[in-house]
Structure 1
Amino acid sequence: MINGELKSKIDSLWDTFAAGGLTNPLNVIEQITYLMFIKDLDDLDNKKKKDNLLLGLNDYKSIYDGEVQVDDDLVVNGDELRWSTFKDFAPDKMFTVVQIEVFPFIKNLKNGEDSSFARHMKDATFLIPTPGLLSKVVEALDEIYRLMDADVSKRADIRGDVYEYLLGKLSTAGRNGQFRTPRHIIKMMVELMDPRADDKIADPAAGTAGFLVEAAEYLQTKKKDEIFYTKENKHYFNNEMFTGYDTDQTMLRIGAMNMLTHGVDNPNIDYHDSLSDQNTDKDEYSLILANPPFKGSLDYDTVSNDLLKVCKTKKTELLFLTLFLRMLRVGGRCACIVPDGVLFGSSKAHKSIRKVLVEDNNLEAVISMPSGVFKPYAGVSTAILIFTKTGNGGTDKVWFYDMTADGFSLDDKRTPVKENDIPDIIERFKHLDKEIDRKKTEKSFMVDKKDIVDNDYDLSINRYKEIEYKPVEYPPTKDIIAEIEKLDKEANDALQELKALLKD
């Protein structure tokens, strides 16, 4: 979570843009994102060069080496394109270099390739109007990075939180039901699903590609040998493993940049209305990670007929669940966030999709989350559903967990606290065999499929959780009355003493 000095610096940067004449929040976020990308490119290049030398190799070709062609008509000294170089230029020179050289350079990075990055950067525009504003912004971002790097082990998390905090400033944020998923919740979901090196991973509501980035980082950390063992595996990781869809071009640009700076060269980040006929993916993916928008209602004519055949509804949260089942191959797994209404809604569509999950597939877990998880952006109550597509059943018992703390206060401030169920959730999910005999009065427990069927496929934890009432013994009524009389007498005596003092 962003707080303290870092939050103050970002707020100050936002004010700097406003004072410099750039007031549209979306434009401000885009310009900050481009500059962060330019900084990250420089850092990533230096890291790759150092790693290459440490391995005793001498075959790394830097994107900044020698003379670099930034567009059709201009060749420049590559070193001048580095953040670490131009940040020290005088404002006028810095402005010229960034506008004329650096910005065309990042736009054309994947020029000639049919990559998502090249497609989404094609329409990117440099909008910072003056040298003075650019100089102030570069200086402010340098300081923000210094604060982010104070704890290198958490830099990736903090960087994601910075994006989340910036996006929270959009007045349009959440208008379509999109709520930025907190980084620690994404990390938990990725760890629960334990992505494999041969997975094909998708997020049909990708936004800034947070789930895909975290899955990539998890694999680079935990499955590094498998991913980079052969050229074929490395090519698969960089070009075929990750797919993300969104209908917001700004989010797609940020997502493509986000993936590139996290070591994935060419993910399939594309413009798709996932619920429409535009999305034809079927039996394609082995893992879906998503927090789809809870928009409310759509018109039937904008929704794919394939989805409506399974679940006739206008509610996006139900349609996305239907979509996930269609997009997954048999044996494919999904971890997704849904609003609580999905768990107990009484409409025919609600019951229908829950029945499909329980009867036709393997519903493994329902993790109930407290409503404060999405604050300050929203106060919705949500849950995580984890299931495997089988097409022929498989649900025997469903694991329920009542998360009451996620390591942060559940108010708008979201300050760090000691209470945190996330480590316990991860540990217990990895050893579900030990959960079978736990009582329904505990934080987590198993529920038989039969009980769920008997309850009309209700998946709300409160339907099955048992409350243990402890008897409280009170003193006899006559003793209580005697105590009240005693207190009344003491109060009256004190009042009389006060009156006596006032007469004197």
Structure 2
Amino acid sequence: MLTGELRNKVDKIWETFWTGGITNPLTVIEQFTYLLFIKGLDEAETYREQEAVLLGIDFERMFPEDKQHLRWSKFKNLEASQMYDIVSNEVFPFIKSLHGNKNSAYAKYMSDAIFMIPTPQMLSKIVDGIDNIPMKDRDTKGDLYEYLLSKIATAGTNGQFRTPRHIINMMVELMKPTPEDIIVDPAAGSAGFLVAAGEYLRKHRNDLFLVQGLKEHFNNHMFHGFDMDRTMLRIGAMNMMLHGIENPNIEYRDSLSEQNKDKDKYTLVLANPPFKGSLDYDAVSNDLLKVVKTKKTELLFLALFLRILKTGGRCACIVPDGVLFGSSTAHKAIRKEIVENHKLEAIISMPSGVFKPYAGVSTAIMIFTKTGVGGTDNVWFYDMKADDYSLDDKRNPVEENDIPDIIERFHNREAEKERKRTEQSFFVPVEEIRENDYDLSINKYKEIEYEEVEYEPPTVILERVEMLEKDIVQGLKELKEMIRG
């Protein structure tokens, strides 16, 4: 989460866009992102320069000698009209043609990017504002993106909304990506899951950058994201490049349509697919409808995950609670498919405030492995009650946080076997899930301990009531005498 001071700085920049006539939130985010990206490029170049001096080595410059004036640190001090001329006529075309590979995600989605800041004075104010935002810290950069994206007040037509960064990080920690993984988010948005997976590998498996094949895999083949919103794709591509992933496979694609031919391709799915979307049957791939005949996007995406994963591939995805207990034929069919033909490992029930302020829907994280031959034995359930933030619209930091406990217990499930159903986590055998029509809601299995309250015998209670009544009558009698007196 950003500090109040940083939020205020971002809000002031946002206000400058707004008063200057750019009022569409996505356009503001897009223009804001371009400038953050330009600043980030200069900071990355400065870091490489310092590293080269320290190590006494040469490095390949992003900004050639004749393009040094296009760096943020150079043009930010210029007079407004001169800055405007350089940014609009030189810097922007430069970043659009920056990536040599014309088929890269960055080249594809920057090719139709448009510089829309209308006046030199407005650009100067925005550049000054952005220059005061510290961007060296990757977490701050990510939180800044999250805060910008949270300003999209209305959910998209297919029910998209932002996944909080700490929930994304928890899911990545639960799945522990490996340097060999091929990771996909078929509803990628701003690529938050892919960025977090990359950051996890940098932190925990830094050795991958010492092995040429793995380093090449990380930069070119590991990360795949699809979306149908070109603005979000552009933001996602820039987000990933700012996080050091050179050539992410971010593509325009309707993941649920016949256009998506992927099958048995990926080893890890990390996703929060659109909820409450409803599609026409003819817009959906036939092989998904064979698994689950429905128009509901949250069920179709589960069928898609099973199709696109390799055997042995894993999935951690967010689903609305209705997926876990819905009684329609389609709801039961997809649950049965995962439980009987693959290996369902865990259901983590999350409180409804996790997605506030833009949605109050109750959700859960579903974790499973594609096997094709079953394997579900005992399913691990966890009742998450707190996530480090208040569960109201304000989402202020609080002390209660189950996330570290969830990660620790999940990775040590052997020790969970003796837990009772009254505890926060417990196992449920697959036989019991079958008997309950594949219901996966935690409330179906959780037991609540009621403390027995012992009351005094009725005769004693009645005697006390009579004593109180006598006291009241006596008090009224004394009050009347005082009034008469």
TM-score category (smaller protein)? over 0.9
TM-score (ref. length: structure 2): 0.95
Identity between Structure 1 and Structure 2 (%)? 62
Q: Does residue 421 in structure 1 map to residue 421 in structure 2?
A: no
The match for 2:17 is 17
Q: What residue identity is the alignment partner of 2:252? A: Y
Structure 1 residues 53 and 487: CA distance shift in structure 2, 3 A:
farther
Shift of 1:168: 2.7
Structure 2 counterpart of 1:97, from 86, 94, 97: 86
Q: Does residue 86 in structure 1 map to residue 75 in structure 2?
A: yes
Shift of 1:42: 1.5
Shift of 1:482: 4.5
User: 2:439, 2:126 → 1: CA distance?
Assistant: 52
Shift of 1:4: 2.2
Shift of 1:90: 1.6
Shift of 1:110: 0.9
User: 2:474, 2:347 → 1: CA distance?
Assistant: 60
In 2, are the aligned partners of 1:284 and 1:328 still within 8 Å (CA)?
yes
Q: What residue identity is the alignment partner of 2:389? A: F
Q: What residue identity is the alignment partner of 1:125? A: I
The match for 2:199 is 217
Q: What residue identity is the alignment partner of 2:322? A: G
User: 1:107, 1:59 → 2: CA distance?
Assistant: 26
User: 1:502, 1:98 → 2: CA distance?
Assistant: 89
Q: Does residue 37 in structure 1 map to residue 26 in structure 2?
A: no
Deviates more, 1:468-477 or 1:245-254: 468-477
Q: Does residue 311 in structure 1 map to residue 292 in structure 2?
A: yes
User: 2:480, 2:108 → 1: CA distance?
Assistant: 86
* Count of paired positions: 485
Q: Does residue 270 in structure 1 map to residue 251 in structure 2?
A: yes
Q: What residue identity is the alignment partner of 1:44? A: A
- Matched residue of 1:45: which SS? helix
- Matched residue of 1:407: which SS? strand
The match for 1:284 is 265
User: 1:340, 1:99 → 2: CA distance?
Assistant: 48
Could you list the runs of 5+ residues in structure 2 that have no partner in the other structure? none
Shift of 1:112: 4.7
User: 1:350, 1:57 → 2: CA distance?
Assistant: 62
The match for 1:131 is 120
Deviates more, 1:241-250 or 1:89-98: 89-98
Alignment of structure 1 residues 151-300 onto 2, 5 Å: 155-225=137-207, 227-300=208-281
CA RMSD of aligned residues (A): 2.1
Alignment of structure 1 residues 370-449 onto 2, 5 Å: 370-449=351-430
Shift of 1:301: 0.5
Shift of 1:224: 1.1
User: 1:503, 1:414 → 2: CA distance?
Assistant: 61
The match for 1:70 is none
- Matched residue of 2:314: which SS? strand
User: 1:498, 1:304 → 2: CA distance?
Assistant: 84
TM-score (ref. length: structure 1): 0.92
The match for 1:301 is 282
Q: Does residue 120 in structure 1 map to residue 109 in structure 2?
A: yes
Shift of 1:8: 2.5
Deviations 1:373-415 (A, max 9, x none): 0000100000000010000011111000000000000000000
User: 2:25, 2:48 → 1: CA distance?
Assistant: 34
Structure 1 residues 113 and 480: CA distance shift in structure 2, 3 A:
same
User: 2:354, 2:164 → 1: CA distance?
Assistant: 8
Shift of 1:86: 1.6
In 2, are the aligned partners of 1:403 and 1:443 still within 8 Å (CA)?
yes
Structure 1 residues 181 and 488: CA distance shift in structure 2, 3 A:
farther
Deviates more, 1:467-476 or 1:364-373: 467-476
In 2, are the aligned partners of 1:157 and 1:183 still within 8 Å (CA)?
no
Could you list the runs of 5+ residues in structure 1 that have no partner in the other structure? 68-77, 150-154
- Matched residue of 2:275: which SS? coil
Shift of 1:235: 1.3
In 2, are the aligned partners of 1:86 and 1:97 still within 8 Å (CA)?
yes
Structure 1 residues 455 and 100: CA distance shift in structure 2, 3 A:
same
In 2, are the aligned partners of 1:167 and 1:173 still within 8 Å (CA)?
no
Structure 2 counterpart of 1:465, from 434, 442, 446: 446
Q: What residue identity is the alignment partner of 2:157? A: R
Shift of 1:45: 2.2
In 1, are the aligned partners of 2:158 and 2:278 still within 8 Å (CA)?
no
